[in-house]
Amino acid sequence: MQPGYATPDGTHAWRMHHQLVDASQWRDVCGHTISPVGLGTYLGSPDAATDTLYEQAVLSFLGKGGNIIDSAVNYRWQASERAVGRALARAFEAGVPRESIFISTKGGFIPGDAQRRLDSDAYVAAELVEQGIVTVEDIVAGCHCMTPAYLRHQVDASRHNLGLETLDLYYLHNPETQLDEISHANFQTKLRIAFEALESFVSDGKIRSYGCATWNGFRVGQADKSHIEIEALLETAHAVAGSDHHFRAIQLPFNLAMPEAFVSRTQGVVGQRTSAIQAAERLGVTVMCSAPLMQSQLLRKLPSRVDSAFPGYETAAARLLAFVMNAPGVTSAMCGMKLGAHIDGNLEVMRHPHLAPDEWLAAIRRLQS
């Protein structure tokens, strides 16, 4: 496996090498310099043709200056991580420095295994229960687990799939899934145990940092059973490891049709209600956004006023990305990309200057008019 991990010096050198990306667009994650658009790997069938598209996409993305790639062990039954791993191996062999590329992935959902043609149920039986890694009782809602033994197994699976000794950022994947079946009190206990495991993985050199990637948890209100407080996550991390904890980031959906992350006051910070993005910013937590194009659904019904709100961008996708990645408090937008034309169009947005908060808010007012 490839040794090393993303470093401040390595990612800064990447920025200096890729001058086509506007200087104002580079973002900071704990001293690391990353691109405002990341390559997502969620969609597609677990087949060889899609694998090839993702491998080519990774290489094209890196060639155009992007340096953050996001995946999850369950995406396409592990095929997405494996495709990324093969592409990274080719990139490293060609001279791309490991320390310049920031890799995030996720664990929590039960994956299948495309190579072994195992669906999630068969994977549970053959890979988890029979090996003594989990019991059936450990699995919640029929699809989710975050026991220490399971997370250790999944972190190692992701490291193997990606061909990396160390993962830069590891998310608990949609932990709110647990709340479909367990109480918030039980959830907090399980979360603390999971964070203890994640801190141990940092100590072991398997991951550099961790966070939570959610779909509903951060953007729904307190009355919703899926609700998770970012401040409470930080309190749990602090209780586990003190001020030296390694909880660094959240990921949540944010797009033109799902603006709750910015506009809904679902989170509390020192007793005041605010949005998830603003809460994370106040708490010093990095915000990564998923689904900026809503799996391309927004492209089919894009209002014409988006053109006037974000002029100067050549494609509808770039205008939608501009809405997300220029929002105050957003670090990077993870955008699924497999085709070269999509990569070219989506990454055009990185060549434009970053909008100041007042400029972005003016664009939103034009959008609403």
Q: Which candidate, 43, 101, 108, 104, places its Cα nearest to that of 70?
A: 104
Q: Which candidate, 306, 291, 217, places its Cα nearest to that of 258?
A: 291
- Please tell me the predicted confidence (pLDDT) of residue 295: 76
- Please tell me the predicted confidence (pLDDT) of residue 116: 94
pLDDT in tens, 320-334: 999 999 999 999 999
**Rounded Cα distance, 210 and 325, in Å:** 22
- For tokens 């039980």, the residue is 186
pLDDT in tens, 142-156: 999 999 999 999 999
Name, in order, each residue with C-beta under 8 angstroms of 66's C-beta and a sequence gap of 6 or more. Answer: 35, 37, 38, 39, 347, 350
- Please tell me the predicted confidence (pLDDT) of residue 124: 95
**Rounded Cα distance, 100 and 6, in Å:** 5
Q: Which candidate, 260, 154, 251, places its Cα nearest to that of 207?
A: 154
What mean pLDDT comes out for the span 295-301?
76
Q: What value does the mean pLDDT of the chain take?
A: 95
Amino acid symbol at 124: V
Question: Do the beta carbons of residue 67 and residue 34 sit within 8 Å?
Answer: yes
**Rounded Cα distance, 273 and 285, in Å:** 17
Query: In the 3-class helix/strand/coil scheme, how is 197-240 assigned residue by residue?
Result: HHHHHHHCCCECCEEEECCCCCCCCCCCCCCCCHHHHHHHHHHH
pLDDT in tens, 243-262: 999 999 999 999 999 999 99
**Rounded Cα distance, 81 and 290, in Å:** 17
Phi, psi dihedrals of residue 47, rounded to the nearest 5°: -130, 170
Q: Which candidate, 225, 263, 233, 273, places its Cα nearest to that of 250?
A: 233
- Please tell me the predicted confidence (pLDDT) of residue 41: 97
List Cα–Cα distances, 306 to 157, 237, 365, 366, in angstroms. Answer: 42, 40, 11, 8
pLDDT in tens, 14-57: 999 998 899 999 999 989 999 999 999 999 999 999 999 999 99
- For the chain, which domains are there? 8-368 (3.20.20.100)
pLDDT at 308 exceeding the cut of 90: no
- Please tell me the predicted confidence (pLDDT) of residue 306: 83
Asked whether the whole model's pTM tops 0.95, one would answer: yes
User: Of all residues in the chain, what percent carry a pLDDT higher than 90?
Assistant: 87
Question: Do the beta carbons of residue 225 and residue 283 sit within 8 Å?
Answer: no
Question: Which of 133-137, 167-171, 218-222, 345-349 shows the lowest mean pLDDT across its residues?
Answer: 345-349
pLDDT at 369 exceeding the cut of 80: no
Beta strands 247-253; 210-213: pairing state: parallel
- Please tell me the predicted confidence (pLDDT) of residue 276: 98
**Rounded Cα distance, 60 and 56, in Å:** 6
pLDDT at 340 exceeding the cut of 90: no
**Rounded Cα distance, 72 and 92, in Å:** 21
- Please tell me the predicted confidence (pLDDT) of residue 164: 98
Split at pLDDT 50, 70, 90, the class of 298 is confident
Q: What is the DSSP letter of 243?
A: G
